[in-house]
Amino acid sequence: MGSARSRIGVLALQGGYAAHARALEELGHEAVEVRSSEGLQGLEGLILPGGESTTQLKLLGLAEMDAPLDAFVRSGKPVLATCAGAILSAASVRDFDQRSFGWLDVAVARNAWGRQVFSFEAKADEGGPFGAIPLVFIRAPRFVELGARVEVLATYQGEPVMVRQGNVYAASFHPELSDDRSVHKIVFP
C-alpha cells in the first residue's frame, strides 16, 4: 500500500460502517461503501464493521455476496473485522448457533461482554503493537478459543480483544468510535 491513497472498502449492508469510512478518510485513504459483489472490485483492503451479525449474514445472502466476499478475504488483502465482523470471521460461534466464514481459527461468544446497557469504554493492557489504546465495547463478542496460528495483538484485563491470523485482523471492540487511529493505521498503512 504505502503512502499513495488506497481504495479500502467498508461493508455497508448494515451496522456501523460510516465511522470506519471516516477513520479511513482521516488517514488519507479512499473509503468505498460496499453493497454488492461488484463493489469489491479494485479494492486494496476491506473492513467488516460492527452491527448485528445474523442480519449481516442474511443481507450478504440476499446480495449473493457470500462467495465473492470469501474469495476477497482469502485473496490475502488486509481485512479488519470489528465486533459483528469478528463474529462473521470466526471458525465457530458459541452460545448462539449461527453460520460464520471461518477465516480466523477462533471461537467467539456473541454479546459476551454484556448487553447494550452494559456497553463501556476502557483502555487496553500495556504491551503489544498498540499499547493502552482506547476500547469501546458495545454488545461485544469475546474470543473464547484461539487456534495456534492466531496472534493476540491487544488484551483487556489479560483477555484477548484483538487478534490476527494472516491478513485478517479482528477486534471485539470498536476502534472507529475513538479518536485513536492506530488500529486502522496498522491494518491499512
**Sign, CA torsion 69/74/80/82:** positive
Q: How far is residue 10 from each of residues 45, 55, 122, 132, 186, measured CA to CA in Å? A: 9, 16, 25, 26, 16
Picking from 109, 4, 134, 122, the residue whose alpha carbon sits closest to that of residue 53 is 109
Active site residue 176: yes
Place of cell 479512499: 30
The active-site residue, picked from 20, 29, 176, 184, is 176
The active-site residue, picked from 44, 83, 126, 184, is 83
Catalytic annotation, residues: 83, 174, 176
